[in-house]
Amino acid sequence: MIDGLVGGRLYGEAQIRTGQNGKRFVTCKVRATTNDGDTIFVNVIAFDDDVQTALLALADADSVALSGALTPKVWTDKNGLIKPAMDMVAHKVLVGYRGEG
């Protein structure tokens, strides 16, 4: 496990899910850009209520920064190319604005 900070844009919408134990969590994908200009997808899961609320308030392509535990992964695209990815258990979130009523 690596503790890290990821900044990028939400890819799609955050989704509410329920675990087998009945506890709610939120998942989403964040598209981030590496120093080389490549795109990497971060698969995010959030158990903290405040982080869940912040992620659910975001729309597709909104900017977001998350801190938490990172796990590097790889996946194979439809052309057979191996691509990097990350899984993150988000503990904190920072958004660029607050949409208040």
Q: CATH number, domain at 88? A: 2.40.50.140
3-state SS, residue 30 = strand
The single-letter DSSP state of residue 96 is S
Q: Residue 32 belongs to what domain range? A: 2-95
Which residue type does 6 have? V
Flag whether 100 is in a domain: no
Flag whether 49 is in a domain: yes
- Please compute the mean of the pLDDT values over residues 26-46 and round it to a whole number: 95
- Please compute the mean of the pLDDT values over residues 71-86 and round it to a whole number: 92
Rounded alpha-carbon distances, angstroms, from residue 56 to 19, 52, 72, 81, 93 = 17, 6, 24, 32, 12
Flag whether 101 is in a domain: no
Mean pLDDT of the residues in the chain:
92
Flag whether 70 is in a domain: yes
Count: domains in the chain: 1
pTM of the model: 0.89
Flag whether 40 is in a domain: yes
Flag whether 81 is in a domain: yes
Quick one: pLDDT band at residue 88, thresholds 50, 70, 90? very high
Flag whether 35 is in a domain: yes
Residue 101 clears pLDDT 50, i.e. is over it: no
